[in-house]
């Protein structure tokens, strides 16, 4: 750990905190239906969309209607994306002439992009046509992110409303998220990336002769446009198999910083927007503070673990003090670790270093980030609503200790909310533990494992945590493209996404209908250091209790095997 | 009798012995199913017992340890049922003494209030609507309303208060309770409770816990516990797969042990005991709640409506000052007021006499020659007429030995008697008194105004501090009074309430409650009269006074046997303490799990992954001992916390922030740390005894 590395981490955090209020104000305006600077151009487009699709923008939905629309829209997305991959070979914009995608892989990829996971069991440049990348994946990158934001906004509305029957209109929230938030930001960001040298073309791959006289195919295409939404929408699906470690995706330190900021920008901004929507900015800051504590703990632990170097290599005298294998050597250890923690904290899954090559404890930080449910800033929208689920649990467990029925923001937390929050927690836990356990006993699951010992278990755990938490990053050694894994990981993604979203919307419906109890000295304060500490404690304990045994057998056992001490 | 002074010690030997038997009876599957966490524990205990027997017969590893684990699993279940049994036992001890008063009585049923012939029927067969005749010396056969007559009733059987109270038809003191005894006169009572539904029956049911239904919070907590149990089931069920992958084999009994230590057995076992003990505490305060729900709601109360008279102020007003007018001296006024009050037996009259004597050393003279004029609602004044001789008997009027008449009373009534128009300083004195929250009493002699006596509402000592405490707890107090706004404002300021409702009528009271509730607040109030019934029913927590009408007692969700309106404050605190006890033990229970992992996980895997010994931070001596110690700790902690569950966690009125800080420190961090020490100590003991 050196000053330079720590400074990078510190500056990054500072930038995110500084950006949050601006993003938050903009988001709050957009979802209150307010007028934004771009309204002159986008307003007619928005109204055009509503007219075209027959959406009655003024009509709000009950939570069941909202959830129904969301599920229908997303399932249609899965079908369309599946179909597109299956017939891409007969469609235009396929200069590399890639064939149709096999059914199991097409299913996995369709689910993966619709659920905002962007798990890629394939290498993009060798499997998908430009049309599939642009009309399929990029579209889903936008709408899956917009879906997440919509759910978070609906939940925030529910806290803000009193005795209300509706939580908003899904189609309006979806359209506004994509049109006013994601699209303008991506346009600006894409231009910036192109300026920095990221390709944006529809040309066939270039054939080059290397200095040694060998032949090299240089893949390219509409990269820049996918890069920006990949990070801003916490999708993480790279244009190239190497993801952001590929110099065409991430050519300079500046693009790297833009990528990192883009990953947290909306997630952090949403906490601020939440504070504005419920009428108390401090509530938003408290959530961001809890996320910040967990983030800093993770990034510092991972950075420390990497800085210790690999005892096995040191013993042989073949490596320096740090383990650079699999790291982004252009940017160094600190940046590689920072990116790895950001991308797993935020359900993005874009990578600049191979997580498989992280030291066991740094890999564990990535794994745990996902196991906690991607709530440390988290996926766009998903991070906020995931965190609010933990708030419900924390308030219920500890809130009783002030001698009142637990309440958050004036809403009483009762049997129904607790039940629904637990359904979501259980969905995630069974998606990770249940499916991973299955993969460790079935031969069809075991063939994907590359390494023996605890690391092999880490590979399986990581894959299923990544799928169920809708992250999308992977331990590279894991052979994901098998019919079994494609099917089961796809299932994990669906469970981790929709079995969380539906309970969250149900909670939103229940909360919106409740009266708001005015705060008094007897009300549990939910904006101070104490509450942040309580929230972090509940997250760590509930998450820790659920995953400790599995993690002990994976990364912890591996770490101890390297001969290093635990503390 | 149940009375505050009677305390059952926390672990009374006799009750504990009976509870032990009940604990075994509660092992019936149907009973256990009410407590899901304990039910899972029992299934685990059964499974490990079967496995133990198999190992014993077929031979296998760890036989001795498996046997001990099975035993401790059963102990865990037993300790939980014991906790509930002992809470119920304490209630039963109270119920038994109540039952004795419900001796079989015979009632004299009559056809109409004025009928003279009666039919003897057993009290238990009385239906609502029946009329019964009760005479001096008889026990009132059931709850009801007095429809004819007036009687003094000894209610000590339920209130513990030995002085008989008056019960009469009409008015606000018409309700009688079955089991109480008429001391004098005869009354006709219309029975209002169906058989088995009487007050006494309900009270017995409540303290015994038999009729206890789970409260909303308890249900939500149960769901949380079930949810956590399912999560841990998932964790434990998937562990063999991961272990198998890692080349480890875990005996099933060890998995069961892991599961039971992880699931929240502590709170799961103590939850119902906490609820029963909460009701018990309330009964000990001589308050009967009709449901646990109401007690819970009491903890959530935001607004407290309190009647001024009797709650905030002493029931009667006291003379505080003599304000003479024109050229009258203060002593002159005091003398006249003193004379006029000598025969006035009201608290106000007595206080005038007391003040006059204290200020000017006046003494009571010979009352011969004095004719007292009593107060009537028509004249709204009282006073004295005296002849010259009578007047001469008083030292202070010797210089004017002539006949005179003195009147004191409501300003407008006395002013109407005056010969001339009211002097200007009299009008201003009357106003000043009213503005200061007092009642002005004008004194006049022979058609000439002497001055004003300032009758002051005396705010109860210490009540201001109580309101400050309530404010710190986040509870707003509203004073309800029939006084005009000026008087009310002044008393409200003196007592330190947050708001007041002046010139209150039942309708305005009801409106106020609805307005508060519309703002999302929970409202508590107490009342006694029939006209309070709608408001009592509307309030979230309505405490009816036992001396009140049957209508009020039916409308409220609690009845205070002592009829002490300030008890609302204690009720709120008991409600809060109940919720806090649950929260504290839940937090404690969940925080405990961290240490158990550090005991059991290395123990399970140290054979296949020797490096995981590093996780054995407690340095437990062997895997078997580690598992055994964890399960023993898990069982014993339930027993150790029974007194806390019965007593409730310490509650000191304070804001939510400081309560949370304190409780998080004690039960959160304490819950995290305690088992590390506890398990280590048990491990040392287990090894010293050679158990594993």
What would the DSSP string read from start to end of B410-461?
Answer: -HHHHHTT-SSPPPHHHHHHHHHHHHTT-EEEEEEETTEEEEEEEEEEEEPT
Q: How far is CA A26 from CA A265, A276, A283, B613, in A?
A: 12, 11, 18, 52
Least confident range of A266-275, A469-478, A545-554, B284-293: B284-293
Look at B299 and A403 and tell me if their CB atoms are within 8 Å: yes
Place of tokens 């619709």: A114
> Does the beta carbon of B661 lie under 8 angstroms from any beta carbon of chain A?
yes
> Does the beta carbon of B389 lie under 8 angstroms from any beta carbon of chain A?
no
Q: Please give the biggest Cα pair distance in chain A.
A: 78
Q: Measure the CA–CA gap between A126 and A241, rounded to whole angstroms.
A: 9
List all residues 6 or more positions away from A112 whose beta carbon is below 8 Å from its beta carbon.
Answer: A118, A119, A120, A121, A237, A472, A489, A490, A493
Please tell me the predicted confidence (pLDDT) of residue B3: 39
Of B235, B580, B594, the CB nearest to A401: B580
What does the pLDDT look like over A361-409, one tens digit per residue? 999 999 999 999 899 999 999 999 999 999 999 999 878 888 888 999 9
Query: Residue A499 is encoded by which pair of tokens?
Result: 């079995």
Q: In angstroms, how far is the first alpha carbon of chain A from the final one?
A: 16
Answer yes or no: are the C-beta atoms of A515 and A162 closer than 8 Å.
yes
Short-list B618, B105, B22, CA closest to B276 = B22
Q: Measure the CA–CA gap between B476 and B497, rounded to whole angstroms.
A: 8
List all residues 6 or more positions away from B688 whose beta carbon is below 8 Å from its beta carbon.
Answer: none
Answer yes or no: are the C-beta atoms of A347 and A149 closer than 8 Å.
no
Contacts of A413 in chain B (CB under 8 A): 220
Please tell me the predicted confidence (pLDDT) of residue B379: 78
Per DSSP, the residues of B591-625 read: HHHHHHHHHHHHHHHTTT-GGGGGG-TT--S-HHH
> Does the beta carbon of B397 lie under 8 angstroms from any beta carbon of chain A?
no
Distance of alpha carbon B691 from its chain centroid, rounded?
48
In the predicted structure, residue A84 carries a pLDDT above the cut 70: yes
Q: Measure the CA–CA gap between A98 and A82, rounded to whole angstroms.
A: 16
B480 DSSP β-pair partners: B307, B501
Please tell me the predicted confidence (pLDDT) of residue A521: 79
Across B343-429, where does the E strand assignment appear? 370-373, 381-386, 404-409
- Which stretches within A32-169 are classed as H helix? 39-53, 63-86, 103-114, 124-127, 130-131, 139-160
Distance of alpha carbon B500 from its chain centroid, rounded?
24
- Bridge-based pairing of strands B313-324 and B181-184 is unpaired
Look at A398 and B242 and tell me if their CB atoms are within 8 Å: no
Please tell me the predicted confidence (pLDDT) of residue B446: 85
- Other C-beta atoms lying within 10 Å of the C-beta of residue B385: 15
Contacts of A553 in chain B (CB under 8 A): 242-243, 245-246, 605, 609
User: Which of A282, A400, A449 to substitute to test the interface with B, most B CBs within 10 Å?
Assistant: A400
Answer yes or no: are the C-beta atoms of A168 and A157 closer than 8 Å.
yes
* Helical packing angle, A360-371 and A453-468, nearest 10°: 30
Look at A422 and B224 and tell me if their CB atoms are within 8 Å: yes
Look at B239 and A549 and tell me if their CB atoms are within 8 Å: yes
B400 or A93, higher pLDDT: A93
Of B234, B473, B577, the CB nearest to A433: B234
Among residues 209-268 of chain B, which lie with CB inside 8 Å of chain A? 216-217, 219-221, 223-224, 227-228, 230-232, 234-235, 237-239, 241-246, 262
B307 is catalytic: yes
Please tell me the predicted confidence (pLDDT) of residue B388: 66
Answer yes or no: are the C-beta atoms of A406 and A400 closer than 8 Å.
yes
Q: Does an H or E element contain A424, and which?
A: helix A415-429
Query: Residue A410 is encoded by which pair of tokens?
Result: 């004036």
User: Which of B518, B609, B617 to substitute to test the interface with A, most A CBs within 10 Å?
Assistant: B609
- On average, the pLDDT of chain A sits at 91
* Helical packing angle, B36-58 and B216-245, nearest 10°: 30
Of A405, A546, A565, the CB nearest to B235: A546
Look at B593 and A560 and tell me if their CB atoms are within 8 Å: no
Look at B241 and A516 and tell me if their CB atoms are within 8 Å: no
The reported pTM is 0.86
Of B243, B586, B591, the CB nearest to A400: B586
Look at B224 and A566 and tell me if their CB atoms are within 8 Å: no
Look at A517 and B299 and tell me if their CB atoms are within 8 Å: no
Look at A400 and B300 and tell me if their CB atoms are within 8 Å: no
What residue of B is the nearest CA neighbor of A546? B235
- Give per-residue burial for A249-276: e unless 16+ CB within 10 Å, then b: bbbeeebbbbbbbbbbbbbbbbbbbbbb
Contacts of B219 in chain A (CB under 8 A): 415
Look at B299 and A437 and tell me if their CB atoms are within 8 Å: no
- Other C-beta atoms lying within 10 Å of the C-beta of residue B162: 9
Per DSSP, the residues of A42-65 read: HHHHHHHHHHHHT--TT--B-HHH
Of B241, B296, B590, the CB nearest to A441: B241
Look at A521 and B223 and tell me if their CB atoms are within 8 Å: no
The ipTM assigned to this model is 0.93
Look at A397 and B245 and tell me if their CB atoms are within 8 Å: no
The percent of residues above 70 in pLDDT, for chain A, comes to 98
Look at B231 and A546 and tell me if their CB atoms are within 8 Å: yes
Q: Measure the CA–CA gap between B605 and B586, rounded to whole angstroms.
A: 29
Short-list A60, A9, A62, A52, CA closest to A506 = A62
Q: Measure the CA–CA gap between B136 and A250, rounded to whole angstroms.
A: 99
Mean pLDDT by 10 residues, chain B (692 residues): 46 80 89 90 96 89 89 95 87 70 74 82 82 86 84 74 74 78 85 74 66 79 94 95 90 94 93 86 81 84 84 78 88 87 80 87 74 78 76 52 79 82 84 82 88 85 84 87 81 89 84 89 82 84 81 82 79 89 93 92 89 91 94 95 90 85 93 95 93 78
Q: Measure the CA–CA gap between B145 and B174, rounded to whole angstroms.
A: 5
Please tell me the predicted confidence (pLDDT) of residue B399: 53
DSSP letter assigned to residue B665: I
Q: How far is A151 from chain B, CA to nearest CA, in Å? A: 24
> Does the beta carbon of B667 lie under 8 angstroms from any beta carbon of chain A?
yes
Q: Measure the CA–CA gap between B261 and B72, rounded to whole angstroms.
A: 11
- Annotated catalytic residue: which of B307, B532, B540, B593? B307
Average pLDDT in the A70-76 region? 97
Q: Does an H or E element contain A497, and which?
A: helix A483-513
- Bridge-based pairing of strands A215-218 and A206-209 is antiparallel
- Give per-residue burial for B21-33: e unless 16+ CB within 10 Å, then b: ebbeebeeeeebe
Q: How far is A231 from chain B, CA to nearest CA, in Å? A: 33
Among residues 307-336 of chain B, which lie with CB inside 8 Å of chain A? none
> Does the beta carbon of B520 lie under 8 angstroms from any beta carbon of chain A?
yes
- Give per-residue burial for B347-367: e unless 16+ CB within 10 Å, then b: ebbbbbbebbeeeeebeebeb
Q: How far is A536 from chain B, CA to nearest CA, in Å? A: 13
Answer yes or no: are the C-beta atoms of B179 and B140 closer than 8 Å.
yes
For B486, phi then psi, to 5°, come to: -65, -50
DSSP letter assigned to residue B139: B
> Does the beta carbon of B474 lie under 8 angstroms from any beta carbon of chain A?
yes
Query: Residue B601 is encoded by which pair of tokens?
Result: 């996980």
Q: How many inter-chain contacts (A to B, CB under 8 Å) are there? A: 213
Q: How far is B592 from chain A, CA to nearest CA, in Å? A: 10
Answer yes or no: are the C-beta atoms of B435 and B416 closer than 8 Å.
no
Across B14-113, where does the E strand assignment appear? 106-110
Helix and strand numbers, DSSP H then E, in chain A: 23, 4
């Amino acid at each position: 750990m050196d000053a330079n590395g720590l400074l990078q981490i510190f500056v990054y955090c500072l930038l995110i905190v500084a950006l949050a209020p601006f993003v938050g104000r903009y988001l709050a305006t957009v979802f209150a239906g307010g007028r934004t600077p771009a309204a002159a151009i986008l307003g007619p487009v928005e109204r055009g969309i509503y007219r075209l699709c027959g959406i009655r923008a003024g009509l709000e939905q009950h939570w069941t209607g909202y959830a129904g629309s969301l599920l229908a829209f997303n399932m249609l997305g899965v079908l369309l994306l599946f179909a597109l991959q299956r017939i891409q070979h007969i469609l235009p914009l396929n200069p590399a002439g890639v064939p149709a995608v096999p059914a199991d892989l097409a299913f996995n990829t369709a689910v993966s992009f619709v659920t905002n996971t962007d798990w890629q069991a394939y290498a993009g440049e060798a499997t998908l046509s430009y049309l599939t990348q642009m009309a399929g994946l990029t579209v889903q990158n936008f709408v899956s992110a917009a879906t997440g934001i919509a759910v978070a906004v609906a939940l925030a509305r529910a806290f803000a409303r009193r005795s209300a029957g509706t939580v908003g209109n899904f189609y309006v929230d979806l359209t506004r998220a994509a049109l006013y938030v994601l699209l303008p930001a991506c346009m600006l960001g894409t231009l910036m990336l192109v300026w920095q040298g990221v390709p944006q073309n529809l040309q066939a791959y270039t054939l080059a002769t290397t200095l040694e006289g060998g032949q090299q195919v240089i893949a390219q295409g509409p990269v820049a446009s996918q890069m920006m939404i990949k990070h801003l929408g916490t999708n993480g699906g790279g244009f190239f198999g190497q993801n952001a470690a590929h110099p065409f995706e991430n050519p300079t330190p500046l693009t790297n910083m833009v990528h990192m900021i883009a990953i947290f920008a909306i997630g952090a901004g949403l906490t601020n927007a939440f504070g504005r929507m419920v009428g108390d900015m401090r509530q938003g800051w408290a959530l961001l503070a809890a996320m910040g504590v967990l983030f800093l703990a993770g990034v510092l632990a991972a950075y420390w673990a990497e800085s210790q170097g690999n005892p096995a290599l040191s013993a042989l005298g073949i490596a320096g003090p740090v383990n650079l294998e699999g790291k982004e050597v252009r940017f160094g250890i600190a940046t590689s670790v920072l990116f790895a923690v950001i991308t797993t904290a935020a359900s993005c899954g874009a990578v600049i270093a191979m997580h498989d090559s992280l030291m066991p404890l740094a890999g564990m930080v990535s794994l745990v980030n996902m196991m906690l449910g991607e709530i440390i800033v988290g996926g766009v929208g998903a991070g906020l609503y995931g965190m609010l689920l933990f708030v419900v649990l924390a308030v219920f467990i500890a809130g009783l200790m002030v001698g009142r029925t637990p309440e958050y923001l004036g809403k009483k937390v009762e049997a129904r909310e607790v039940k629904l929050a637990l359904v979501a927690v259980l969905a995630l836990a069974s998606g990770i533990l249940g499916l991973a356990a299955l993969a460790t006993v079935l031969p069809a699951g075991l063939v994907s494992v590359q390494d023996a010992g605890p690391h092999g278990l880490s590979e399986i755990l990581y894959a299923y945590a990544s799928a169920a938490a809708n992250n999308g990053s992977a331990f590279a050694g894991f052979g994901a493209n098998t019919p079994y894994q494609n099917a089961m990981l796809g299932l994990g993604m669906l469970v981790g996404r929709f079995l969380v979203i539906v309970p969250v919307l149900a909670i939103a419906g229940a909360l919106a209908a409740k009266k708001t109890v005015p705060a008094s000295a007897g009300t549990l304060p939910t904006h101070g250091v104490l509450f942040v500490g309580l929230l972090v404690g509940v997250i760590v304990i509930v998450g820790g209790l659920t995953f400790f045994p599995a993690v002990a057998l994976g990364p912890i056992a591996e770490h101890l095997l390297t001969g290093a001490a635990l503390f | 009798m149940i009375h505050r002074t009677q305390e059952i010690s926390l672990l009374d030997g006799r009750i504990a012995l009976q509870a032990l038997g009940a604990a075994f009876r509660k092992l019936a599957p149907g009973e256990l199913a009410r407590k899901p966490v304990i039910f899972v524990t029992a299934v685990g205990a059964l499974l490990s017992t079967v496995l133990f027997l198999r190992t014993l017969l077929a031979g296998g590893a760890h036989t001795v340890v498996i046997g001990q684990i099975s035993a401790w699993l059963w102990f865990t279940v037993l300790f939980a049922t014991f906790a509930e049994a002992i809470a119920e036992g304490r209630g039963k001890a109270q119920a038994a003494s109540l039952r004795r008063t419900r001796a079989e009585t015979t009632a004299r049923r009559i056809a109409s209030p004025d009928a003279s012939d009666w039919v003897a029927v057993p009290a238990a067969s009385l239906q609502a609507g029946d009329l019964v005749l009760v005479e001096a010396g008889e026990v009132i056969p059931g709850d009801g309303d007095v429809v004819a007559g007036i009687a003094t009733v000894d209610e000590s059987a339920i209130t513990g208060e030995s002085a008989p109270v008056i019960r009469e038809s009409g008015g606000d003191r018409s309700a009688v309770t079955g089991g109480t005894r008429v001391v004098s006169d005869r009354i006709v009572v219309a029975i209002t409770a169906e058989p088995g539904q009487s007050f006494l029956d309900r009270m017995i049911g409540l303290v015994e816990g038999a009729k206890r239904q789970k409260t909303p919070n308890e249900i939500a907590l149960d769901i949380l516990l079930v949810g956590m149990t399912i999560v841990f089931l998932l964790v434990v069920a998937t562990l063999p797969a991961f272990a198998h992958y890692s080349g480890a084999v875990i005996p099933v009994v060890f998995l069961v042990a892991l599961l039971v230590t992880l699931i929240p057995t502590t709170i799961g076992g103590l939850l119902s005991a906490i609820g029963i003990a909460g009701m018990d505490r309330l009964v000990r305060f001589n308050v009967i709640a009709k449901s646990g729900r109401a007690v819970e709601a009491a903890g959530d109360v935001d607004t407290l409506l309190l009647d001024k008279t009797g709650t905030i102020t002493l029931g009667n007003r006291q003379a505080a000052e003599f304000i003479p007018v024109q050229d009258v001296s203060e002593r002159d006024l005091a003398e006249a007021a003193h004379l006029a009050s000598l025969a006035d037996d009201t608290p106000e009259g007595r206080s005038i006499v007391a003040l006059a004597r204290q200020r000017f050393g006046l003494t009571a003279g010979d009352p011969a020659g004095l004719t007292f004029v009593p107060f009537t609602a028509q004249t709204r004044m009282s006073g004295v007429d005296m002849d010259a001789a009578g007047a001469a008997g008083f030292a202070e009027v010797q210089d004017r030995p002539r006949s005179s008449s003195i009147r004191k009373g409501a300003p407008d009534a006395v002013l109407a008697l005056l010969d001339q128009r009211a002097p200007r300083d009299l009008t201003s004195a009357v106003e000043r008194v009213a503005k200061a929250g007092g009642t002005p009493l004008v004194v006049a002699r022979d058609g000439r105004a002497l001055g004003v006596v300032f009758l002051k509402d005396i705010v109860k000592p210490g009540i201001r501090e109580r309101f400050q405490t309530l404010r710190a707890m986040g509870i707003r107090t509203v004073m309800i009074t029939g006084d005009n706004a000026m008087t009310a404002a002044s008393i409200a300021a003196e007592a330190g309430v947050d708001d007041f409702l002046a010139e209150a009528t039942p309708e305005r009271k009801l409106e106020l409650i609805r307005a508060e509730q519309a703002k999302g607040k929970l409202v508590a109030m107490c009342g006694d009269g029939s006209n309070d019934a709608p408001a009592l029913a509307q309030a979230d927590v309505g405490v009816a006074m036992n001396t009140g009408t049957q209508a009020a007692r039916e409308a409220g969700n609690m009845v205070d046997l002592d009829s002490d309106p300030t008890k609302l404050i204690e009720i709120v605190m008991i409600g809060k303490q109940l919720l806090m006890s649950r929260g504290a033990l839940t937090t404690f229970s969940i925080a405990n799990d961290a240490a158990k992992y550090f005991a059991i996980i290395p123990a399970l895997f140290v054979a296949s992954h020797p490096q995981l010994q590093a996780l054995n931070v407690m340095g437990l001596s062997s895997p078997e001992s580690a598992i055994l110690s964890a399960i023993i700790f898990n069982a014993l902690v339930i027993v150790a916390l029974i007194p806390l569950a019965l007593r409730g966690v310490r509650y000191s009125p304070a804001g939510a922030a400081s309560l949370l800080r304190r409780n998080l420190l004690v039960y959160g961090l304490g819950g995290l740390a305690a088992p590390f020490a506890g398990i280590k100590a048990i491990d040392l003991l287990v090894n010293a005894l050679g158990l594993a």
